[in-house]
Structure 1
């Protein structure tokens, strides 16, 4: 076997883990912290630094191949895995996962994932483990076969070598205005996220949010280069439902009202409401999609909460319960399952957005780029962190390097042919 040892190294995520329930309940910000008691199990305070755990596969040629494990910013919310615990994950890796890794053929990515991610004590391994270990296995397969990670995905899922770049979506964090300017100056494809995660930011009847949407469109025209025309994508963290009401017709009416204020722009609204369960989310999002489509609206609904795992993605896609599904990579788990999720969306003619979290690392972001390009997702998140510059350069540069390598590979294949 090609793996002769397994290393573990504790690390940092690029942002913080936040207690979404406490924030929704009205926790007040004091500088960068939130004041008050946490509401979600596992949190000792409402905002804590994100942690990660790196897994290194020592191959027989003594090359060490790494992947990174972590959870998403709002861990333990919306049906997600609980807060990342480095000590617990390290123990599970040493006792259960490392011995399995020593027994697999690392040159075969999907097969090795299947073997390593077998249930333990009748339970699925933590999704963070699947995510980090699958990154390492994908890199190991690419190393052993002298290919890019994207080529491994294409070969294992019988996909053609991609030619199209995948649009990149940046998120603003709380430094909204400054980061919007940065995005516009850098001609980001999809912007700005907005972090509309509190009543203060959404406003009475959504007025504060609507003003922000109009400002982003106006600012794009003011300082954007000629011909620059991004998609406007706002994450409202369920606040339309919380402020306007959990009635699909009212939510659709509000979204149409917002869309009218930015004529000529495609408008994505992520997480308009949280209906409390997966099934309720599917049924009500499908109604909102149907209403918007019947009106010919330019607005598109993006689902995040309650759509976490591969099975969740399949159910939402088959029900047409979104125009665009965020495939949140740490919540899906294995990168092989993220590939499957994109292909399920495509088969059901639903948009596939390979997302993730600000809590990730540069290694997980780079692996996500290869996955996104290989499967030709509709868009991908600039990550990690909440700053624009770092995330956009990590994801954008990795995509450009990858496409240059794939172009060379394509030319070589044509010459051989």
Structure 2
């Protein structure tokens, strides 16, 4: 069950790494570029092509199982790890991680993760490294046990068999209108993200944003198939707080106005404000959640920034400081931590959204599907990239194939019983 060799291959993320601080400060767009001076450490320009590092585990039978290491789009923002740099990550992986991988039993997934991801020089390994290597270990364990990755997660965490489909959420990027139409025609469960990441897109007093929300709801009714009724989910990157102020009451009032404009739809508002620290975020988001709940609003708050690690997620969930937590696998670390994060949310009766980033890869997206289904997350992100078609097909098809295998396994077990 040992790993006899490890392969490293530089690769590409599916989108770009962006300097969120510079964009928020007013950087202008020139075509696909953002123009201005970088603010976040590590960025030499405001938009950098996303890179990745593939880690391949060679088993005794010469089969190779891969996982992909990468950062998230807004690296270095909101307490996240710094900008991903392939050469540095490759060097660290070769020196520190590879020797550890050669010394573990690949059939024992959680044990292997625990040994490989021990601190180095009194510091945790980069979370992106944990994420990529844990994907490869999960695939290797699935091969050795003749199971799906979902079944390995289920077995390791002692979870019951589940075959419920997890709703899929698509993100639009800047091509909002075209991509919204695609999402509606494909009957996506949750849409459209919207990428409301600048004052221009949010508008004075949020007017531009409100008009976009209304348009999405109207368009859904116009071209959606009969009975189609998606959840509307908008990521505003803190702009409600930036525009109307950081008072929880004012933020809640604004969110209620948005929801009132589209009656009949459940509205998710992601990252309504950034209060500057994890503790401040928890305290103020809890107030916003309470106000919305007391009003019986059909709007829900989704936390992203300042809620990165497993411990962050635990604190938000226990404080009921969000209706739904975005669990960003590259920020959480090992994909086993993503599973733990979903279970923490469920224990605290808070929604669990297995998200991630447009900068991910096909391999990381597929691994995320297995964790989402095994833990029965409330929704998962269609990834990678900022298009709709590719990401929706990668995640949607992987889920459908997985459910077909799991249903077959259940039928076999029932027949045996």
TM-score with structure 2 setting the length: 1.00
Matches within 5 A, 1:29-68: 29-68=29-68
Q: How many Å separate the matches in 2 of 1:203 and 1:104?
A: 54
Q: How does 1:181-196 map to 2 (within 5 A)?
A: 181-196=181-196
Separation in 1 of the partners of 2:318 and 2:302?
A: 15
Hey, what's the Cα distance between the residues in 2 that align with 1:213 and 1:96?
A: 48
Q: Report the Cα distance in structure 2 between the residues aligned to 1:270 and 1:34, rounded to whole angstroms.
A: 23
Distance in 2, Cα, partners of 1:197 & 1:205: 15
Determine the C-alpha separation between the residues in 2 that align with 1:6 and 1:387. Answer: 32
Rounded Cα–Cα distance in structure 2 between residues aligned with 1:251 and 1:270: 12
Q: Secondary structure of 1:78's match?
A: coil
Aligned to 1:232: 232
Deviation of the 1:110 alpha carbon: 0.5
- How far does residue 163 in structure 1 lie from its aligned partner after superposition? 1.6
Q: Give 1:2 deviation, angstroms.
A: 2.0
The DSSP-based 3-state class of the residue aligned with 1:358 is coil
SS state at 1:82 partner:
coil
> Which residue in the other structure is 1:392 paired with?
392
Shift of 1:416: 1.5
Query: Tell me, what secondary structure is at the counterpart of 1:10?
Result: strand
Shift of 1:75: 0.0
Give yes or no for the alignment of 1:140 onto 2:132. Answer: no
Query: How far off its partner does 1:209 sit?
Result: 0.2
- Tell me, what secondary structure is at the counterpart of 1:14? strand
Quote how far apart the aligned CAs of 1:202 are: 0.3
| Equivalent runs, 1:107-186 vs 2, <5 Å | 107-186=107-186
Structure 1 residue 215, shift from structure 2 partner: 0.1
Let me know the Cα RMSD of the aligned residues: 0.4
> Over residues 185-217 of structure 1, what are the superposed CA-to-partner deviations in whole Å (9 max), with x where a residue is unaligned?
000000000000000000000000000000000
User: Equivalences for 1:271-310 in 2 at 5 Å?
Assistant: 271-310=271-310
- Where do 4+ consecutive residues of structure 1 move more than 2 Å? none
Q: Secondary structure at the match of 1:300?
A: strand
Counterparts of 1:416 and 1:139 in 2: how far apart (Å)?
27
Secondary structure of the corresponding residue to residue 187 of structure 1: coil
Give the match's secondary structure for 2:192. Answer: strand
Query: Matches of 2:196 and 2:163 in 1, distance apart?
Result: 35
SS in 1 for 2:232: strand
Q: Which residue of 2 aligns with 1:321?
A: 321
CA distance in structure 1 between the aligned counterparts of 2:36 and 2:218, rounded to whole angstroms? 37
- Give the equivalent residue in structure 2 for 1:339: 339
Residue 161 (structure 1) shift = 1.5
Residue by residue over 1:195-248, the C-alpha shift from the partner in whole angstroms, topping out at 9 and shown as x without a partner, is 000000000000000000000000000000000000000000000000000000
Partner of 1:19: 19
1:72-131 CA distance string (max 9 Å, x none): 000000000000011111111111100000010101111100000000010000000000
Distance in 2, matches of 1:93 and 1:35, equals 34
Number of aligned pairs?
A: 417
Partner of 1:245: 245
Quote how far apart the aligned CAs of 1:160 are.
1.2
**Structure 2 SS opposite 1:246:** coil
Deviations for 1:343-392, whole angstroms, at most 9, x for unmatched residues? 00000000000000000000000000000000000000000000000000
> What is the CA-CA distance between 1:155 and the residue it aligns to?
0.4
Specify the SS of the correspondent of 2:380: strand
Please name the residue that 2:257 is paired with: 257
| Alignment correspondent of 1:82 | 82
Deviation per CA, 1:278-321, whole angstroms, max 9, x where unpaired?
00000000000000000000000000000000000000000000
TM score, norm. by length of structure 1: 1.00
1:9 paired residue number? 9
SS in 2 for 1:51: strand
* Gap runs ≥5 in structure 2: none
Structure 1 Cα separation of the partners of residues 409 and 109 of structure 2: 20
